[in-house]
């Protein structure tokens, strides 16, 4: 697919490109925090084929560059930016770079993969054990939302969207995954409050809950299927939460 063939949503214009590698934004972008080779790549392709430029955010520039290269082969304009979601200032900086380089952020997706050491049995979890999960799942999203809101508001009503992606412990806590159970519940509460308040401004806030692991080829939990749900949450703007599988 050539970039000139990309479809664009109403109100968007296409990208201008030149012989140089510099990207000249003339449309809006999606910023994916926690972009990886699975769901992040699938979402990048889904939104990219609809005319969005794609900001890929994670901790490792090499992985981001490789993914951006793969997307370029599909005719999608994408660029990687490094950030540590436990450092609010680095998130703000990365999102600022996305908007400066790729155009205003119309869609923010917050979907980083939690660290394994966040998942400890409840009676083994100390106050110190909860610091990381809370920084990861609450401080990070709050910093991201504050960074993107002014730009979303400038786009006008019924344009901006904030998408949260969580595991099943966000709605059903698990005794052996205490950190994510506590922190995801807090993130879900924050997302619900945003949905109520920002909905009054025409900004959609939604949450996708994925029970269990993402499984390539699965009828429910294949990355492309999940990316389709996220696209629907953005375009249909008719619900706060969509849950896939309860396990």
Which pLDDT tens digit goes with each residue over 191-234? 999 999 999 999 999 999 999 888 898 899 999 999 999 999 99
Report pLDDT for 9: 42
Per residue in 145-193, pLDDT (tens digit) is 999 999 999 999 899 999 999 999 899 999 999 999 999 999 999 999 9
Please report the pLDDT score of residue 247 as a whole number.
61
Check pLDDT > 90 for residue 26.
no
Rounded Cα gap, residues 96 and 76, in angstroms: 20
Residues 6+ apart with CB under 8 A from 131: none
pLDDT band at 131 (very low <50, low <70, confident <90, very high): very high
Q: What is the pLDDT of residue 13?
A: 37
Kindly report, residue by residue over 46-60, the tens digit of the pLDDT. 999 999 999 999 999
- Per-residue pLDDT band at 16 (split at 50, 70, 90): very low
Per the model's pLDDT, the better-predicted residue between 21 and 154 turns out to be: 154
pTM for the full model? 0.88
Q: What is the pLDDT of residue 220?
A: 92
Highest-pLDDT range among 6-20, 59-73, 209-223: 59-73
Report whether 152 contacts 234 (CB < 8 A): no
CATH architecture of 25-244: 3-Layer(aba) Sandwich (3.40)
Token duo for residue 222: 């294949």
Instruction: Check whether 76 has a pLDDT greater than 90.
Output: yes
CA distance 145 to 104: 14
- What average pLDDT does range 17-26 have in this prediction? 38
The alpha carbon torsion through 27, 30, 35, 36 (nearest 10 deg) reads -70
For 86-119, how does the pLDDT look when each residue is reduced to its tens digit (9 = 90+)? 999 999 999 999 999 999 999 999 999 887 878 8
Confidence of residue 3 (pLDDT cuts 50, 70, 90): very low
Q: Strands across the sheet with 241-244, in order? A: 78-82, 53-58, 29-33, 105-110, 161-167, 204-210, 241-244
The three-point CA angle 223-225-227 to 5° equals: 65
Round to whole Å and give the CA distance between 216 and 247: 16
Helix (H) or strand (E) holding 98: helix 88-102
Chain centroid, CA 208 distance in Å: 11
pLDDT at position 27: 85
DSSP code per residue over 118-129: G---GGG--HHH
């Amino acid at each position: 697919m050539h970039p000139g063939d990309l479809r664009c949503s109403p109100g968007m214009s296409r990208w201008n490109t030149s012989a140089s590698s510099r990207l000249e934004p003339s449309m809006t972008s999606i910023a994916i925090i926690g972009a990886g080779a699975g769901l992040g790549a699938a979402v990048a392709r889904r939104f990219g084929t609809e005319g969005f430029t794609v900001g890929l955010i994670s901790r490792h520039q090499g992985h981001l560059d490789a993914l951006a290269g793969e997307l370029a082969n599909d005719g999608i304009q994408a660029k990687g930016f490094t950030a540590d979601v436990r450092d609010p200032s680095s998130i703000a900086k990365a999102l600022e770079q996305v908007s400066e380089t790729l155009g205003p952020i119309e869609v923010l997706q917050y979907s980083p993969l939690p660290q394994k050491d966040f998942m400890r049995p409840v009676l083994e979890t100390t106050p110190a054990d909860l610091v990381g999960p809370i920084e990861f799942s609450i401080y990070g999203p709050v910093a991201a939302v504050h960074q993107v809101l002014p730009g979303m508001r400038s786009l006008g009503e019924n344009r901006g969207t904030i998408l949260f992606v969580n595991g099943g412990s966000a709605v059903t806590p698990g005794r052996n995954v205490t950190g994510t159970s506590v922190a995801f519940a807090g993130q879900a509460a924050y997302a619900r409050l945003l949905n109520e308040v920002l909905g009054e401004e025409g900004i959609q806030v939604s949450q996708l809950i994925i029970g269990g692991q993402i499984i390539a080829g699965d009828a429910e939990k294949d990355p492309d299927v999940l990316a389709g749900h996220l696209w629907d949450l953005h375009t249909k703007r008719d619900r706060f939460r969509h849950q896939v599988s309860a396990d």
